Amino acid sequence: FLSQTPWLWNTRQCWSGYPYQPLMPDLHYYYIVELSFYWSLMFSQFIDIKRKDFGIMFTHHIVTVTLITFSYVTNLTRVGTLTLCLHDAADVVLEAAKMANYCKCQKLSDLLFLTFAIVFIVSRLGMYPLWILNTTLFELYEALGNFPALWVFNVLLVILQVLHCFWSYLIIKAAYKAISKGKVAKDDRSDIESSSDEEETVLRSKTLHSSITTNGTGGANGTNGYLTGGTCSEEH
């Protein structure tokens, strides 16, 4: 859809003819799908694993849903599509890295995570301020002057940039551990004490099971009159 639009390569086209810009069906459906996706993330966060950045992630979802809705109502949808596409680019690689991790493909997961780190930092700390914030803060003001919606829109976009900086710090930290240790370290956002306790309990029980005599066949000489490794002992 965006490849056929003039504002993908020239952001000044986002403000050409504003606010009398026609709402194309493709743009409408793009917005509806993205809005429903972020609404689902907001609700699923309460039933998902609770992480240390729960509050920050919830703030991100609130800001994103507000931005999508506000830009749709005020017909700032052209720059809205650019913002959505820029954010989705890194998420695709992140989900691929997660799937590789779940499939126990550690090397592929590590490679995809490092790729995600590069894409995220370039898109969120480079392209976002130079491409999106530049056109909303400067080109929009030059084209249309000052109006209330401009400031509300830009405040929300700047809040997103602050969140990008925070997550970039976590990603760089994880990427450094991945390079230094040879694999992606545990998610710094994780806060799952119960899972760790269960894993430790399982490991302790396995160790205990391997060292204790079971069914009369453990130990150096066995028990119940049988020696370890004997045929009779195995049959018994």
- pLDDT for position 209: 46
The parts of the chain modelled with pLDDT lower than 70 are 182-236
Please state, in angstroms and rounded to a whole number, the distance separating the CA atoms of residues 146 and 134.
15
- pLDDT for position 5: 93
Please state, in angstroms and rounded to a whole number, the distance separating the CA atoms of residues 51 and 71.
30
Listed residue (135, 119, 164, 159) closest to 18, CA to CA? 135
